[in-house]
Amino acid sequence: MSEQPQVFSNRWAGAAGPGDQDAPREQCACLPRSSTARNRPTRFHAERQDTTAPGWLRLLELIEEAAADGREVFSPLVELTAPERRQVVTLPPTVARLTAVRHLVLYGSNLVRLPPEIGAMTSLEEFTPYTSHRLHWFPYELTRCPALRRSTVSTRALYGNEKYRAQFPGLRAAPGAAAGLDLADLDPGVWGAAAIRTCSVCDRPVDGANLRQVWISRWTSGADVLPLLVNACSAECVDALPAPAEGYVPVPHTGGPGLVQPASDWD
């Protein structure tokens, strides 16, 4: 009698949304997939969100519906067609209204960044951006979600991940590097976001003359160490950051090719 093969259920079978001829996300070759490419420089995705796109407008509607009915599980991408999902490269600041959501599902998204307002989702317990392969980092404000305990992230797609130790994009280290810039209209390929309004640490307004950006790798749930981008309003706020996770760069840093990271699984 032959042994029957073991069949595993697809945990995310209903999370990807409807399929059609168009791919729901773009391909990403930002991070290394071999030891010889490990030292290749990286930079932020430069795409800006098209706020006139049908996918974006539909997402705004879905957030309003979820905020109104107080739902605890929010899986907006299953309500979008594949072309619409491809049009969404970030989430709108209105996610701050989703204070009842306990599980945010962004499986297989085309996201390249998340807004700091995600930190206002104070009931969030589980975060699932799994197979969002263009999402290489997260805003430090995610640490403001006090109930967050579970996450499912494609960690090999992250800057500084322990498997590949992919380089972090270099940040403009000098204080005052953003002086004279309109922080409401930034180049996301340089600053990581199209707008920076408040300090990631103290939540006070930020101006270009005082903006300081650093990277820090922290546990944000019981499952994953994530690379977090901090937009700080002062040196004091940078100094107030907690210690990074053990096994990662031991201090807040500005990334770039000169950064020395701990050994990877390749070493």
Q: Across 63-119, where does the E strand assignment appear?
A: 73-74, 103-105
| CA–CA dist 247, 233 (Å, integer) | 27
Furthest C-alpha separation in the chain:
76
Full pLDDT tens readout for the chain, 267 residues: 445 544 334 454 456 565 555 577 788 888 866 555 567 789 999 999 999 999 999 999 999 999 999 999 999 999 999 999 999 999 999 999 999 999 999 999 999 999 999 999 999 999 999 999 999 999 999 999 999 999 999 999 999 999 889 999 999 978 889 999 999 999 999 999 999 999 999 999 999 999 999 999 999 887 899 999 999 999 999 999 999 999 999 999 999 999 999 988 666
Q: Tokens in use for 194? A: 């199209």
C-alpha distances (whole Å) from 59 to each of 39, 91, 113, 138, 164 are 37, 8, 15, 20, 34
Contact status, residue 149 vs residue 124, Cβ threshold 8 Å: no
Query: Is the pTM of the predicted complex or chain greater than 0.85?
Result: yes
The conformation of residue 249, written as its DSSP 8-state character, comes to -
Q: Tokens in use for 164? A: 């590949």
